[in-house]
Amino acid sequence: MTDPTYHYDVLIVGTGNAACCAAHSAIEKGAKIGMLEKASKANRGGNSALTGHMRFVFNGTEDVRPLVRNMADDELHALLEHMPHRTEAEHWDEVMQVTNNQSDQDMLQVHVTESLKTVQWLASKGHDWVPAGGFKMPSDNILLMNGGGYGLQQRNFALLERAGVAFHYDTAATELIQDQKGCVTGARALTPNGFATFTAKSVVLACGSFESNPEMRARYLGAGWDTVRIRGVPFNTGDGLRMAMHIGAMPHGSWTTCHASPQDIDLPPFKIPVAYSTKASYARYMYPYSIMVNTNGERFVDEAYDLRGRTYAAMGRAILAQPGGIAYQILDAKARKMDIYPTNYDGATRAQADTLEKLGAELEINVPNFIKTVREFNAAIQPGQFNPDRHKLDGKRTAGIYPPKSNYCLSIEEPPFEAFPVRCGMTFTYGGLKIDPTTGQTQHVAGWPIPGLYAAGEMAGGLWVDNYASGSGMMAGATFGRIAGTHAAIAALQP
């Protein structure tokens, strides 16, 4: 028996943000689109549906105005007081800073220079943004997508359904199909009714990275990563990377590092997209104002060597390296009095005690070491004004201890003392495929472009190495998805 066959101009694998952007831009060119999604319709949307914000270039209110609705000028000006601009040069520098100058320059050039154009293009499709809130919000950008990533994705699905895109849910792509010349002409996929063949003139792979695959995590990231908990959906198991590399696609970027951040000790093994307003948040991003200690009662990292949005994706790795992969964020009563806790700490796993001895005992950590660590930390704090502004470092630092704490030092001396146990939560992996950043076309290991094959989102490697700047994954997915969709459609529709 032969597989049932479906035919499209452009076949897109995945329904995350990158895939949806590819679909929008391919539709603009007049292509007939099919989209394959491994998850059910109820669980569609990928990690993109769990997000909040995008990091993009803007030069002032005139750039942000098209993104927000019903916002008076004075409100908009007040919002931009926190962060008046992120110029192309500033954005380039922050990515190069977090990646130690290892970001692929050709990718980054497109990522930086196309970001504003891309968010304004999304706004033209019907998306909008709202203020991200003050420092109590776990965001490092001034705007959130309206309804978060879930809202963005719901709007995307409504728009694409209306435009006639054919969605195939519960359908996992398993292999790419090539013609005799090596041109990619579709994909085979497992559907609820068995295998089916989806032929197309171009294929866009946008089915995420390999963070949900323990075998690949162990293989590429090393010991300890196989058993780590995942912040996102269980569906991103590296299928697209495997399928593409099987036909000779070039791996690119950092395959040994990933995005992993401090999460509540009770982080569940996976998450499924739910409305942003009802989403339980396990992110524990209060650490720049705390000290983090391990079960030996010792600090192990500079908790505030940079702004939170530029350190959090590397903090998970530091926590995973501790005994048992556990750490504790320690704060005293001053933090509560200053009301600087992000709102999502209301549901945090926590311990509280009137003395450090009792707190250490309750946490079952090395109490003498813990007391010594806190005393030495308090004594090392230098004069200066503590300021929890998440867009500016305050320079309130320690001297003479290792590791240092470079900003946001608050002494730990006023009871009650609080501790928040945290673990490493993995978000996504950085390793991907080599694409031509101007077209999204994947490259063969032999150096030539693979005809008919495009990739976007987490599948496109090269931008992130070691670390990452918050809000960049959605931005890169949108930009490179838009580019891949455009060029996949142009190639598909050429006579």
Ligand X SMILES: Cc1cc2nc3c(=O)[nH]c(=O)nc-3n(C[C@H](O)[C@H](O)[C@H](O)COP(=O)(O)OP(=O)(O)OC[C@H]3O[C@@H](n4cnc5c(N)ncnc54)[C@H](O)[C@@H]3O)c2cc1C
264 binds ligand X (CB under 6 A): no
The reply to whether 473 sits near ligand X by the rule CB under 6 A is: yes
Is residue 239 part of the contact set for ligand X (CB under 6 A)? yes
How far apart (Å, rounded) are the C-alpha atoms in residues 313 and 257? 10
Q: Does position 485 bind ligand X by CB under 6 A? A: no
d(CA 181, CA 335): 64
- Please classify residue 322 by burial: count the beta carbons closer than 10 Å to its beta carbon, then call 0-12 exposed, 13-18 middle and 19+ buried: buried
Q: Which is nearer to ligand X, 225 or 235 (CB)?
A: 235
Span interacting with ligand X, options 52-60, 118-126, 128-136, 429-437, rule CB under 6 A: 52-60
Indicate the residue type of 218. A
- DSSP run (H or E) holding 329: strand 326-331
One symbol per residue from 169 to 188: x for binding ligand X (CB under 6 A), - otherwise; what is it? ---xx---------------
The region of 15-23, 98-106, 318-326, 430-438 touching ligand X under the rule CB under 6 A is: 15-23
373 touches ligand X by CB under 6 A: no
- Name the residue with tokens 């305050």: 394
Which residue's CB is nearer to ligand X, number 16 or number 316? 16
Q: Which residues contact 291 (CB under 8 A, 6 or more apart)?
A: 299, 303, 329, 330, 373, 374, 377, 405, 412
Residue from 12, 16, 258, 328 in contact with ligand X (CB under 6 A): 16
Regarding 210 and contact with ligand X (CB under 6 A), the answer is no
For residue 232, the one-letter residue type is G
Out of 102, 185, 236, 429, name the contact with ligand X by CB under 6 A.
236
Q: 407 and 393 in contact (C-beta within 8 Å)? A: yes
d(C-alpha 200, C-alpha 378), whole Å: 64
Among positions 428, 430, 454, 464, the unique one binding ligand X when judged by CB under 6 A: 428
Q: Binding to ligand X by residue 50, rule CB under 6 A?
A: yes
Residue closer to ligand X by CB (options 13, 335) is 13
* 166 is a site residue for ligand X (CB under 6 A): no
Among 147, 232, 342, 431, binds ligand X (CB under 6 A): 232
Q: Is 127 in the site for ligand X (CB under 6 A)?
A: no
Select from 75-83, 206-214, 344-352, 368-376 the region that touches ligand X (CB under 6 A): 206-214
293: DSSP letter: E
371 in Cβ contact with 356 (< 8 Å): yes
Q: Indicate whether 114 belongs to the interface with ligand X (CB under 6 A).
A: no
Examine residue 15 and tell whether it contacts ligand X (CB under 6 A).
Answer: yes
Does the footprint of ligand X cover residue 458 (CB under 6 A)?
yes
Rounded Cα–Cα distance for residues 104 and 254 (Å): 10
Q: Does 48 bind ligand X (CB under 6 A)?
A: yes
SS3 content of the chain, % helix, strand, coil (to 5): 35, 20, 40
Residue 4 has a CB neighbour count (10 Å cut-off) of 12
Report the Cα–Cα distance between both ends of the chain, in Å, rounded: 33
Residues lying near ligand X in the complex (CB under 6 A): 13-19, 36-39, 46-48, 50-54, 172-173, 206-208, 231-233, 235-236, 239, 427-428, 457-458, 471-475, 477
